[in-house]
């Protein structure tokens, strides 16, 4: 088996661990086997965990391109789509906790929440971006959209920023954790901006060179 | 003729002499076993026990203010709460960060607009009062709630002893500052020390208590040892913990969470399902442990009959 195939399989299993742990805890609470399995406030805990893992997987998927560039390990790109889809998977679980464990499927409450609370508004927008990216992540869509696919999928940067702002706006006093995610996203997007700027510099240098010559 | 009567007692029924001589031991052992089983059954009934801290003596039970709702377990109450001096956020952070907290040699100052200001050693401060159990609903501003068997005494008794002057309109409470024992006080997470306040009539209300115990035992560190405030019709953050000072003042104190986010937390902080927190609804709550906010939040946390008159004519939307 190819090395990247093995890595991919391992990552797949690892990315499922948080969901599996939550599912097991949910089962224990639901059956009454251990009512405190997910802390005495399981609804809050699940919301927090699924949100955190969404951010984690978004950030990890954003690490892939710089990693490839720095190490010239080209085949690593083959795990990027899977990681992005896992980010969407956790974002969807996170959305479901909001629909079910916070609003008990009440549409009026949900609409009110999206309209009135900016952290919910931006959270919802972020999920919609991830949804669009997940829908167009298959080979068919990539072929069909052609050059537009790349522009569309640059929205992942907006999703990462949106996720961090969503977290920042919802915490009560302690910004330690959202700040950590903000730094991670800033470094990853900063690196891309730096490379873009570098590329443009080289480009204009060549142009000027030609004119002079 | 010799008629042979069968023996009344078959030999198999005769207790061996060695056992017979130990019958007292046997009875004692059995009795002890039954008592132990009984005790175990009782504590189980309570919902869960206690944490092995010293028991408080002479606690009066059966307060008419007690709720009959199902008690939360000791484990739940002590492993899910907020106490920012120990750790940010609700959960078991405060519990885990409070293991080294020893409230020994605690002093309380009562001062300000009072005829009898004084510095007390905690034991002397508590001595004149009768401890009683108060089973109250506890509603956190973060939309979760618990039912807690506190042990304490009415704040009113303390106020009467201090004899506030006519200038006293509010009571301002302050938490201990000691970064060695409260690790988060080394950070600027909140504007330390934690400060809370009550209007004098709120402070004198019979529901308002100073708490020194939980489940019949001394209060554990994460729940505000050795002494805290409990005002059951207000959000939990009004219940300031680890109090070292009660100052009677003329002007309304600015409480810590109001400093932190004045648009989100006010001075009154009365439980009110009609006034939402800017970031979430207060109409419902999660009665822990539960996944779902299916519990409808009651006006003044269900204590409206006792306290609504304190706020006659006040705009509770403005004075949130």
How confident is the model at residue B206, as a pLDDT?
98
Residue for token digits 């729940």?
A: B223
CB spacing of B291 vs A43 below 8 angstroms: yes
Question: Residues B170-229: pLDDT tens digits?
Answer: 999 999 999 999 999 999 999 999 999 999 999 999 999 999 999 999 999 999 999 999
Above pLDDT 70, what percent of chain A?
96
B98 contacts B83 by C-beta, under 8 angstroms: yes
Instruction: Give the pLDDT band (50/70/90) at residue B9.
Output: low
Window from A28-37, A65-74, B9-18 with minimum mean pLDDT: B9-18
- Residue A41 — left, alpha, or beta (φ > 0 → left; ψ -120 to 50 → alpha)? beta
Q: How far apart are CA B130 and CA B154, in angstroms?
A: 9
Q: Where exactly are the structural domains of chain B?
A: 55-311
pLDDT band for B29, please (50, 70, 90 cuts).
very low
What is the pLDDT, as a whole number, of residue B35? 42
B238 to chain A, minimum CA–CA distance in Å? 16
Q: Cis ω on the peptide bond leading into residue B210 (within 30° of 0)? A: no
Best interface-test mutation with A: which of B285, B288, B293 has the largest number of A CBs within 10 A?
B288
The per-residue pLDDT for B18 is: 53
Residue B236 CA, distance from chain mean position: 11
Query: A115: domain range?
Result: 3-212
- Cβ atoms within 10 Å, residue A131: 15
Which residue, among B194, B289, B293, would best test binding to A if mutated, counting the most A CBs under 10 Å from its CB? B289
C-alpha pair distances (Å), A182 with each of A65, A128, A140, B168, B299? 19, 20, 34, 48, 39
Which superfamily does CATH assign the domain made up of B55-311 to?
Answer: Oxidoreductase, molybdopterin-binding domain (3.90.420.10)
Q: How many domains does chain A have?
A: 1
- CB pair distance less than 8 Å for B293 and A36: no
Would you call B166 helix, strand, or coil by DSSP? coil
Query: Cα–Cα distance between A20 and B318 in angstroms, integer?
Result: 46
Average pLDDT, rounded, for chain B: 88
Q: What is the pTM of this model?
A: 0.84
- In 3D space, the residue among B69, B177, B166 whose CA is nearest the CA of residue B114 turns out to be B166
Determine, for residues A109 and B294 on separate chains, whether the beta-carbon distance falls below 8 Å.
no
pLDDT the model gives residue B30: 44
Chain A residue numbers with beta carbons less than 8 Å from the beta carbon of B89 are 172, 174
Task: For chain B, give the number of residues.
Answer: 320
Q: Average pLDDT for residues B144-150, to the nearest whole number?
A: 97
Q: Is the pLDDT of residue A55 over 70?
A: yes
Residue in chain B lying closest to A177 (CA): B88
pLDDT tens-digit series, residues A60-103: 999 999 999 999 999 999 999 999 999 999 999 999 999 999 99
8 Å CB contact of B88 and A174: yes
Asked if A143 has any chain B CB less than 8 Å from its own CB, the reply is: no
Of the candidates B222, B231, B241, the one whose C-alpha atom is nearest the C-alpha of residue B51 is B222
Say if residue B11's pLDDT is above 90. no
């Amino acid at each position: 088996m190819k090395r990247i195939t093995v890595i991919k399989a391992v990552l797949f299993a690892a990315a499922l661990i948080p969901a599996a742990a939550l599912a097991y805890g949910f089962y224990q609470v639901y059956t009454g086997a251990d009512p405190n399995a997910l802390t005495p406030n399981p609804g809050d805990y699940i919301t927090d965990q699924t949100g955190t893992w969404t951010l984690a997987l978004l950030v990890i998927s954003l690490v892939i391109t710089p990693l490839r560039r720095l190490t010239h390990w080209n085949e690593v790109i083959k795990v990027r789509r899977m990681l992005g889809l896992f980010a969407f998977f956790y974002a969807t679980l996170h959305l479901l906790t909001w629909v079910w464990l916070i609003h008990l499927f009440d549409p009026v409450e949900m609409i009110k929440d999206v309209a009135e609370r900016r952290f919910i508004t931006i959270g919802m927008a972020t999920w919609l971006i991830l949804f669009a990216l997940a829908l167009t992540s298959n080979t068919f869509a990539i072929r069909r959209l052609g050059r537009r696919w790349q522009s569309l999928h640059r929205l992942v940067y907006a999703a990462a920023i949106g996720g961090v702002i969503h977290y920042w706006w919802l915490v009560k006093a302690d910004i330690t954790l959202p700040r950590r995610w903000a730094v991670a996203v800033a470094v990853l997007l900063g690196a891309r901006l730096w490379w873009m700027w570098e590329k443009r510099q080289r480009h204009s240098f060549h142009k000027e060179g030609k004119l002079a010559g | 003729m010799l008629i042979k009567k069968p023996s009344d007692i078959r030999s198999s029924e005769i207790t061996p002499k060695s056992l017979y001589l130990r019958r007292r031991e046997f009875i004692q052992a059995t009795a002890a076993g039954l008592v132990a089983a009984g005790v175990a059954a009782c504590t189980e009934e309570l919902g869960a026990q206690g944490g092995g801290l010293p028991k408080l003596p002479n606690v009066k039970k059966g307060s008419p203010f007690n709720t009959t709702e199902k008690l939360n377990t000791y484990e739940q109450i002590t492993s899910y709460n907020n106490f920012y001096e120990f750790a940010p956020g609700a959960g078991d952070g405060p519990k885990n960060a409070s293991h080294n907290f020893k409230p020994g040699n605690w002093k309380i100052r009562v001062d300000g607009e009072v005829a009898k200001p004084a510095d007390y050693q905690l034991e002397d401060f508590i001595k004149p009062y009768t401890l009683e159990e108060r089973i109250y609903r506890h509603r956190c501003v973060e939309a979760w709630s618990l039912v807690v068997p506190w042990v304490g005494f009415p704040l009113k008794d303390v106020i009467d002893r201090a004899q506030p002057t006519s200038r006293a309109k509010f009571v301002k409470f302050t938490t201990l500052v000691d970064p060695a024992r409260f690790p988060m006080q080394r950070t600027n997470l909140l504007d330390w020390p934690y400060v809370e306040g009550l209007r004098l009539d709120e402070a004198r209300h019979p529901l308002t208590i100073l708490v020194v115990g939980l489940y019949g035992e001394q209060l554990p560190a994460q729940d505000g040892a050795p002494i805290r405030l409990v005002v059951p019709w207000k959000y939990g953050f009004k219940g300031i913990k680890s109090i070292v000072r009660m100052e009677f003042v003329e002007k309304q104190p600015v409480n810590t969470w109001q400093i932190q986010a004045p648009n989100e937390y006010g001075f009154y902080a009365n439980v009110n399902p009609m006034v939402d927190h800017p970031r979430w609804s207060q109409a419902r709550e999660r009665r822990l442990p539960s996944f779902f906010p299916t519990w409808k939040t009651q006006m003044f946390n269900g204590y409206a009959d006792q306290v609504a008159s304190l706020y006659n004519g006040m705009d509770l939307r403005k004075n949130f």
